[in-house]
Chains A and B, each alone.
Chain A
Amino acid sequence: GPKVLQIPSHQIIDMGQMVTLNCDPVSNHLYFYWYKQILGQQMEFLVNFYNGKVMEKSKLFKDQFSVERPDGSYFTLKIQPTALEDSAVYFCASSSGQGAEVFFGKGTRLTVV
C-alpha cells in the first residue's frame, strides 16, 4: 500500500541545536501532518499543511517549530533551537484530501540531550 517515509528513524541532538525531520509523503497527496508522541502518551496533533500553507497548529507547535515543503520535495519539520522537552517520536502523515484516509510514517525518534 501507499507509504510515508521518514528519515532518519532516530536522531540524537544536543540541546540548543537545530534539527530537521524529513518526510516523503505518499505521491499525489495534498495534505500533510506532523504528530508528536512522548513516551507513554498518546500521539498529539502538531500541525497540518496544505497548498504551501499551515492550515492549523496546536499549542504544542511552538515558535521554535516550522514546516515547509519546498518544490514538492520532502515535507520537513524544523526545530530551532531544540529543548529537552522536544524529545519524542514525531510521526509524519499525509492524505489525498479532507475526509480521505490518513497514512502515517514509522516515525522519527528524536532525543535531545
Chain B
Amino acid sequence: GDSVTQTEGLVTLTEGLPVMLNCTYQSTYSPFLFWYVQHLNEAPKLLLKSFTDNKRPEHQGFHATLHKSSSSFHLQKSSAQLSDSALYYCALRDYGSSGNKLIFGIGTLLSVKP
C-alpha cells in the first residue's frame, strides 16, 4: 500500500542555518504530496502542496520539489527562524480511495535554537 517515510524524528538547528526535512513516498499512482506543520498546542495546518505541473510550491520561506524519479518531496528553507520550531508532517493523498484520505509520515520535530 501507499506509505510516507520521514527518516528524522528530531532535527535541531541554529537560527539562520538552512533547513532540510526529508520525505520519500511509495504510491501506486502519481499522488499529490503535502507538508503540514503543527505548532505546540495547535492544529496541524497545511504548509505546502505539490503541483501537477512541476512548479515549486513556496510558503513562509519554505519550499519543496516533487521528484517523481526519486519519489521524494523534501522540505527546505534557506534560513531557519526560531518560530519555525514545530512538528512537520509529510503526507500524500491516496487517489486509490474514495474521498480525501491522507497518508501521513511519522513527523519530524524541528527545534531551532538561538
| Count of interface residues, chain A, beta-carbon cutoff 8 Å | 27
B69 within 8 A of A: no
In the complex, which residue of chain A has the Cβ closest to the Cβ of B46? A101
Complex interface: chain A residues within 8 A of B36 (CB): 104
Q: B97 contacts A91, CB within 8 Å?
A: no
B28 within 8 A of A: no
Task: Annotate B6-44 by CB proximity to A: 1 below 8 A, 0 otherwise.
Answer: 000000000000000000000000000000100001111
In the complex, which residue of chain A has the Cβ closest to the Cβ of B41? A106
A87 within 8 A of B: no
Q: Which of A12-20, A40-48, A61-69 contacts B (4 or more CB under 8 A)?
A: A40-48
Least distance between A22 CB and chain B CB atoms (Å) = 15
In the complex, which residue of chain A has the Cβ closest to the Cβ of B91? A43
Q: A33 contacts B45, CB within 8 Å?
A: no
A105 within 8 A of B: yes
Q: A56 contacts B43, CB within 8 Å?
A: no
Q: A43 contacts B100, CB within 8 Å?
A: no
Least distance between A104 CB and chain B CB atoms (Å) = 5
Q: A48 contacts B43, CB within 8 Å?
A: no
Q: A104 contacts B97, CB within 8 Å?
A: no
Interface residues of A (CB under 8 A from B): 1, 3-4, 31, 33, 35, 41-45, 48, 50, 55-56, 91, 95, 98-107
Known interface pairs A35-B104, A48-B101; 12 further A-B residue pairs with C-beta atoms within 8 A, sorted by A's residue number: A41-B106, A42-B4, A42-B107, A44-B104, A45-B102, A99-B100, A103-B45, A103-B46, A104-B36, A106-B41, A106-B42, A106-B43
Query: Top 4 nearest A-B pairs by Cβ distance?
Result: A48-B99, A42-B106, A43-B104, A104-B44
